Structure 1
Amino acid sequence: MKKYSKPALPLVMLALAMMLLLSACAAGNTAQTSDPSATNKTSVELENMGVKMAFPEAPKRAVTLNQHATEVMLALGLESSMVGTAYLDDQILPKYKAQYDKISVLAGQYPSKEVFMAAAPDFAYAGWQSAFNDKNLGSREELAKQGGLTYVQESSNKPGPTLENVYQDILSIGRIFRVEERAEKLVNDIREQVKSIQTQIGVVEQAPKVFVYDSGEDKPFTAADNYLTSLIEIVKAKNIFDDIDKSFTEVSWEEVVNRNPDVIVILDYGDTSLADKEKLLLSKPALAGVEAIKNKRFIVLPLSAAAEGVRAPIALKTLASGLYPNKVK
């Protein structure tokens, strides 16, 4: 019988060592490709308000300017990436207050350049383009030269913005911070809430006519071709001044009477109280015959709900319940 000799021990150990090494390499490669942080190594490139930018990695020291930008960040769970915030229109949404309270408030309105730079931000996210001018923080180009990237809420700075434009802003911030799944979930949640409100409204045979009262005594300041008009349309109503090619504009009381709104939406903010705004509208003799005044049909919206952020469901629910009290509660 032929005998087989055992291989020398060193050869066995060498083969075993090579097998272990190959296994370790394979495991290492698997771990590397499955690591969620690996996606952060890919640069994100996008264009914002005509400015092309590249984000090699997610910002780590962000400052938000304007409430709706702040609430987008908090809704995406990005408070740990924020070193400062500024410029609330009113109270932060209660659901985000605990997150908000962990972040430094740099100023009641726009911070000075010195205060802003002292926070050592690597990213600034503004709701309004006015944040980046010589009076406030300086131009976006100047900040870029100092190493700070910026983003302006596009839906707040374009004519006739829609809710779809707001969704795009949310998704863009999600890309910049590598939280795309959170951003998509947030957008889908808003879509579902909007759909639910529209379902409750059901069929509307004649769209209610809405006048948005912002401010003004001699002449009213009102919403025209802007986001509020889009929200009003979503709840199957009509802004009586949607034909004016401006975002907000002054009109005459006579024209308000001529267009005879069924409902008046009052924007509640600023130095003039809600009670004083209602008193002014009810005391104007010229408005006595207007349907909304005769029936005292007022809907109150805080300014923050009228901004292009995450409050669309709140604004739409408020509008719908005021327009169709028997359908939407």
Structure 2
Amino acid sequence: MRPRVVCGIAAAVALFATACGSGGGGGNASVTAQAAPAGGYPVKVADCAGKETVIAKSPARIVTSNAAGLEMLLRLGAGDRVIGTGFPPGKGTLPADLADQGAKVPVLGDKTIPKEKLLGSGADLYVDTFGAMPMMGGGATGPGEEEFAAAGIQHVYLLSTACAGTPKAAKAPRTDLAGIEDDLRRLGAVTGTAARAEELVSGMEQRIGEVRTALAGVPEDKRPGYFVFDFDAGTKQPVAVCGRQVANAVITLAGARNVFADCDADFKTGSWEDVVARNPDWIQLSVRNRGTEEATRKAFDDAEAFLRGFPATKDLKAVQEGHFVRLGSEVTTIAGVRNADAVRQIAAAVHPDLVKNGQ
């Protein structure tokens, strides 16, 4: 596993999947599922290295590695088949219409699910956001494919996050949400909810398309510089959102320019000197949902107060001009339907004359 400081977003349980996503192979495998002509089964899905898994029938007992996969399944209408999750969504993390159902899902691990518990869960499908990364606690690793097979568990990935940190992942910065949309389609095909998946993808594309149309006249050199300040990662060393991370796509689609898009990773520990040198026009105060509106607002207030009082950041352009975007980590750095909403919220903040109603 990468050093804990690089995985600062692990401070927010629901966020750890993306911060530490590290796939089990390389390559740029297709993320779309190949279903039978009639739209049923079998369904073929690939991992990060392009190795295919054949899903012969609709899964009845699903375990998810973290909140990202869980939320996707809830939105697809397959939540009643989820029998357990790791890295459960924190209080207030899921949207209100999903919160009650999400809270009923058994928690198999507050962080990564222990290997023995996962293999003994009775699941027939494991939706993996992480890929082949060491489990929490050191040298132990997750189950191998032979162990999954012996337990009767088929193993599929959210490729948009599981592959992002692999050495052979696409080098170019991520600038769209196609990978997240493909993950939704893949899970839709696997769970027999393909029609619902298309509805979700269409909704995302409509919201993003509206922003794209509104910003069509903004030239590249007029995009404001944007920095995601992950307050929950700590303030000693900032954790930069790099080009491979889904947040880079969110920022780009919103008509801004991620000042750390050039680092070839998903996340990278940096220094305040790096931030000062890039002097962003806007800073996102990125905090996890604290469970109540009051507590979350206080976290945003604390993040802003730090930047205003810290000697290295108090003179930054964004700080001096009060150019802060208060937007939760969950909708920015975790793959999901709400990434499209984050695009609009950021665009409404940085281009208020062109994009309205960011909420």
Query: TM class, shorter-chain normalised?
Result: 0.7 to 0.9
Q: Is the 8 A contact 2:204 2:340 kept in 1?
A: yes
Q: 1: distance between equivalents of 2:71 and 2:334? A: 11
Residue 117 of structure 2 corresponds to residue 112 of structure 1: no
Q: Is the 8 A contact 1:83 1:121 kept in 2?
A: yes
Q: Which residue does the alignment assign to 1:52?
A: 52
Q: Is the 8 A contact 2:66 2:88 kept in 1?
A: yes
Q: Is the 8 A contact 1:89 1:269 kept in 2?
A: no
Q: 2: distance between equivalents of 1:139 and 1:270? A: 34
Q: Is the 8 A contact 2:307 2:314 kept in 1?
A: no
Q: Which residue does the alignment assign to 1:213?
A: 229
* Paired residue secondary structure (2:312): helix
Q: CA deviation at 1:292?
A: 0.4
Q: CA deviation at 1:130?
A: 5.6
Cα RMSD for the two superposed structures? 2.6
Deviates more, 1:42-51 or 1:165-174: 42-51
Unaligned regions of 5+ residues in structure 1, if any? 1-37
Q: CA deviation at 1:136?
A: 6.0
- Shift in CA distance, 197/86, structure 1 to aligned 2, threshold 3 Å: same
Q: 2: distance between equivalents of 1:135 and 1:237? A: 41
**AA partner of residue 239 (structure 2):** F
Q: Is the 8 A contact 1:212 1:265 kept in 2?
A: yes
Query: What's the % identity of the aligned pairs?
Result: 24
Q: Please list the CA deviations of residues 137-158 of structure 1 after superposition, one character each: whole Å capped at 9, or x if unmatched.
A: 4234421232111112110132
Q: CA deviation at 1:290?
A: 1.6
Q: 2: distance between equivalents of 1:287 and 1:82? A: 44
Residue 183 of structure 2 corresponds to residue 165 of structure 1: no
- Report matched runs for 1:1-329 at 5 Å: 42-50=41-49, 51-90=51-90, 91-129=93-131, 133=135, 135=140, 137-156=142-161, 157-158=163-164, 159=169, 160-161=173-174, 162-201=176-215, 203-205=217-219, 206-214=222-230, 215-225=233-243, 226-269=245-288, 273-305=299-331, 306-326=333-353, 327-329=355-357
**AA partner of residue 197 (structure 2):** A
* Paired residue secondary structure (1:287): coil
Q: 2: distance between equivalents of 1:220 and 1:132? A: 24
Q: Highest Rg: 1 or 2?
A: 1
Choose between structure 1 and 2: higher helix proportion: 1
Q: Is the 8 A contact 1:154 1:165 kept in 2?
A: yes
**AA partner of residue 281 (structure 2):** D
> Under a length normalisation based on structure 2, what TM-score does the superposition of the two structures give?
0.73
Unaligned regions of 5+ residues in structure 2, if any? 1-36, 291-297
Number of residues paired by the alignment? 292
Q: CA deviation at 1:238?
A: 0.2
Q: Is the 8 A contact 2:119 2:151 kept in 1?
A: no
- Shift in CA distance, 181/87, structure 1 to aligned 2, threshold 3 Å: same
Q: CA deviation at 1:249?
A: 1.1
* Paired residue secondary structure (1:71): helix
Deviates more, 1:189-198 or 1:158-167: 158-167
- Shift in CA distance, 130/299, structure 1 to aligned 2, threshold 3 Å: farther
